[in-house]
Structure 1
Amino acid sequence: MDHVDQRAVHDHELWESVVTAARDRVGPRQAAMVSDHGLSGDVQYHWSMDDATIVWSRGGRDFLHGRIAMIGSVDHVQQTWLWSWANDSLPRAVLGDITAVRRYGEENAFPLLVWPSFRAEQKPVAQARIVAADVLAAEGLWFEPGDEVDLHFAIHDLRRV
């Protein structure tokens, strides 16, 4: 009798439970990041992929610094998600520990975390973002919409200025 490694087969129920648990952990951290640090309303920000930083300001005064790790991007024309670990054009600094997300996907047979790219439908993109934020123990997520490409970041190491 052949023994099949069950972990090599995608377990959809397990995936859904992992997504739900990740959402239960990341959701409150996201809400706390926004409320505790006043990241709503009249807030400006700028970020740099070269040194993996993000800075928020209000009225021309910086009030919060953080570190960003790019999770992935959505190409509007191709309608595809591309994991940052599969994007050769990104500076090394902004990748953070994104390979941990891919490793987690490999260890648990979660194709969405292992495929370099997939069709950018709302549900799989949301699932990929939330599980990545959870695996990376991010304080929150940041979304940068663009005309051609949307960027998705995990936020770490927030500190008041």
Structure 2
Amino acid sequence: MKLDWYPAWRDEAIEQLNVKNARLEKEFRIGTWSRYDYDLTAGTLLFSQDGVVKVVTEIQIAGSTSAKASNWLWAWANSNLPSELLSDAKQVRSFGEMNGVDELAQPYVTDADNQLEVLGWELSAVMSRICNGLGVYRCPSSEGGGLYLMFKSINWAS
């Protein structure tokens, strides 16, 4: 069951994320670095150029899309991920349960139009709004899906 307020609220979350990500592009050149590396043990995402780390971020994992499965999997439902990086995703699940928003409270979400990347950005935007994220980065996977990471902090490397 979706509540009447949720679609507009989610659209606002997407607009907010677009503004946040545009700021990160401008201030930290996110999206322009030649390399990124995430470390799920340390909870970091690093952006590098010519072997030199330029930007360091602390992350939480939102979830992932899978072209093979044609769905989104919330990070809180993925037993392969470290629990330290799931607290914000668990907060989203609680929000969904309290407000009757099924797509936030169920492990898997599908999209009728099979626009998985759009779905991934939409649900990551919702997490960013609920958890006051600074932005979101999508790491593409070789199978056509992506891993969506929410920034909790971002700084220039020293």
TM above 0.5, yes or no, is yes
> Secondary structure, in 3 states, of the residue corresponding to 1:102?
helix
Match of 2:2 in 1: 10
Give the total of aligned pairs: 152
* TM-score scaled by length of structure 2: 0.87
Q: Which runs of 4+ in 1 moved over 6 A?
A: none
1:97-116 to 2 correspondences below 5 Å: 97-116=88-107
> Secondary structure, in 3 states, of the residue corresponding to 1:98?
helix
The correspondence for 2:155, drawn from 134, 139, 159, is: 159
| Amino acid aligned to 2:57 | G
* TM-score scaled by length of structure 1: 0.85
Match of 2:30 in 1: 39
Match of 1:128 in 2: 123
Q: Does 1:62 align with 2:39?
A: no
| Amino acid aligned to 2:146 | D
Q: Distance in 2 between matches of 1:127 and 1:139?
A: 15
Match of 1:141 in 2: 136
- Percent of aligned positions that are identical: 21
Q: Which runs of 5+ in 2 are unaligned?
A: none
Cα separation, partners in 2 of 1:108 and 1:25, compared to 1, 3 Å: same
Q: Distance in 2 between matches of 1:79 and 1:154?
A: 22
How far apart are 1:42 and its partner, in Å? Answer: 4.3
Q: Distance in 1 between matches of 2:22 and 2:132?
A: 15
Cα separation, partners in 2 of 1:96 and 1:67, compared to 1, 3 Å: farther
Q: Distance in 2 between matches of 1:125 and 1:64?
A: 24
